[in-house]
Structure 1
Amino acid sequence: MGVFSFIIGLAFGSFLNVLIYRLPKRYSIITASCCPSCNYKIRWYENIPIFSYFYLKGFCSFCKQKISKRYLVVELLTAFVTLGLYLKFEVSIQLFFLMGLFYTLIVLSFIDLEYKKVPDYLLLVAFICSFFATDYEFFESLKYACLFAGFFILLEFILTFYIQNIKSRLLKDKNLRTQKALGEGDIPIIAIIGIVLGLKGGIIAIFLAGIFAIIPSIYNNFTKKDKQTAFIPFLMLGLFFEFFINISAKVFS
């Protein structure tokens, strides 16, 4: 069953790649898969998770354009997440809600990486799933969501004021006058972290997210490639890391 759950995760990972590519562009998600470079209709044996990527050596069989490594990363990440969830929760209602939540977070993260904005309806799906995926009672979960979201809304206001009114003048950078400390999608994800992990676990997860985000943020500042760092992927990493560390601690205790 563990191997089966891993294979199921690979299959879902392939579908998540479809969502990541098509949802921001508002393409249909039920049409046949095509090469994003040349629109070549992909054959079934060229669409097998992981295997097809290595079989094609990372290139489209028709136009020879390079296939993004994102497809491979998403499939493997989804497979390992599915396996980890199954090993802990086996076949249960909570397992399916956690899968729905974590899959949605994966889609949100990779969309945020590419576009620096995410669809609101995906945030709403993740937020609703989180109440069913947590071990906490509804009102306790709601309390943690409000605590985390409220604190970061206040923090976002303070940091944004500093960036737009102080940092922009010190650096004489007019672009900073419209920049915000946190994106609009970050606050709901922070609330979700509070719902799923509670107070202590949520604080640790957000602290880890900040640590994970430091290196690419410094790199972006030095290279001046991008002044805005997508934060949802790092919030997701913090949540996943703390969630699965807690699971491992309970299993081996």
Structure 2
Amino acid sequence: MSFFVFYSFIFILGSVIGSFLGVLAERLPREKTIRGRSECDYCGAVLKWFDLIPIFSFLFLGGKCRRCEKKISPYHLWVEIITGLAFLAVAFYLFPYPLLGIDLQIIGQFLFWLFLASCFIAIFFADLKFYIIPDEIIIAGIAGSLAYWIWLAFGSGFSLISIEAWRGLLFSLLAAVLAGGFFFSLNYFSRGRWMGMGDAKLALFLGLALGWPNILIALFISFLSGSIIGLGLVFFGRASMKSQVPFGVFLTASSFACLFWGEKIADWYLSFFR
């Protein structure tokens, strides 16, 4: 029963945070304040607190505005569900047996991964809807990643764990420089045609967050998946070769996957050369 309560709490927490992330992804690209009350896109009615309960309110109202009864976009519903599932995936991975053998380092990693998942989801939907990656989220991601690696390095004392933590910090800085430098170069030499400046800033953040070699795996998966989906859209007439591609969508999705399987994929690939 304690397992069920723990995982249920994590999913609910994720859906609540997802509600806020949906607001960030929708307002920051349009330079709107995030402090304003939510309102209906059609009639402008300010939504009450009981209309904003994650997932439940949308389902209870049948996806309609309580006042004008027009259909509401399921955008926020999807953000809330996806964030809840992302939080749940992190909890399942790091805490397969909740409340057993948990130490401070695992708790720190858990909170950091939830933070990264939140950043990734906000960037994913902002880029998907507006083709813009908000600087505010990038700055928060860089600051949070630096804080985590520094805490890990200084908080472990002078031990083997501390050496590994310092190694992780240095490799993360290296990954940030390499990934960011590569994308900034693409942006500079193509004058923004191949890669946007937002993607370059995002690569800097992802390099710092994932470290080496995870960032390399994430970049490979994002380029591969982006190419496959992009060519598929062109083939079915949904896009052209000149269409703008929200590459941040592929970068964040592949980076989230690499939190779980990045090192395993790298080890599998390197095993062919041993």
Whether the 8 Å CA contact 1:98–1:129 is kept in 2: the answer is no
Superposition TM-score, scaled by structure 1 size? 0.79
In the alignment, does 2:205 pair up with 1:200? Answer: no
Unaligned runs of 5+ in 2: 1-5, 96-101, 150-164, 266-274
Whether the 8 Å CA contact 1:53–1:72 is kept in 2: the answer is yes
In the alignment, does 2:122 pair up with 1:99? Answer: no
Whether the 8 Å CA contact 2:63–2:73 is kept in 1: the answer is yes
Distance 1:70 1:244, change over 3 A: farther
Taking the aligned partners of 2:17 and 2:139, their CA distance within structure 1 comes to 20
Taking the aligned partners of 1:198 and 1:138, their CA distance within structure 2 comes to 8
Write out per-residue CA displacement over residues 149-179 of structure 1, whole angstroms, 9 at most, x where no aligned residue: 2223334445x27xxxxxxxxxxxxxxxxx6
> How much has 1:123 moved relative to structure 2?
1.2
Paired AA for residue 204 in structure 2? A
Distance 1:245 1:236, change over 3 A: same
> How much has 1:75 moved relative to structure 2?
0.6
Unaligned runs of 5+ in 1: 162-178
Distance 1:185 1:64, change over 3 A: same
User: 2:182 maps to what in 1?
Assistant: 151
Whether the 8 Å CA contact 2:184–2:197 is kept in 1: the answer is no
Taking the aligned partners of 2:54 and 2:142, their CA distance within structure 1 comes to 28
Taking the aligned partners of 1:52 and 1:247, their CA distance within structure 2 comes to 40
Correspondence 1:183-222 to 2 at 5 A: 183-218=196-231, 219=233, 222=237
**Number of aligned residues:** 231
User: 2:40 maps to what in 1?
Assistant: 35
Taking the aligned partners of 1:30 and 1:121, their CA distance within structure 2 comes to 15
> How much has 1:55 moved relative to structure 2?
1.9
User: 2:128 maps to what in 1?
Assistant: 113
Identity %: 30
In the alignment, does 2:141 pair up with 1:123? Answer: no
In the alignment, does 2:86 pair up with 1:55? Answer: no
Paired AA for residue 84 in structure 2? A
Whether the 8 Å CA contact 1:220–1:227 is kept in 2: the answer is no
Taking the aligned partners of 1:153 and 1:29, their CA distance within structure 2 comes to 30
> Bigger shift: 134-143 or 59-68?
134-143
> Bigger shift: 240-249 or 224-233?
240-249
> How much has 1:246 moved relative to structure 2?
4.8
Whether the 8 Å CA contact 1:33–1:41 is kept in 2: the answer is yes
Distance 1:80 1:220, change over 3 A: same
Superposition TM-score, scaled by structure 2 size? 0.73
Distance 1:25 1:196, change over 3 A: closer
User: 2:77 maps to what in 1?
Assistant: 72
Taking the aligned partners of 1:23 and 1:129, their CA distance within structure 2 comes to 19
For the aligned residue pairs, the C-alpha RMSD in angstroms reads 2.7
> How much has 1:206 moved relative to structure 2?
1.3
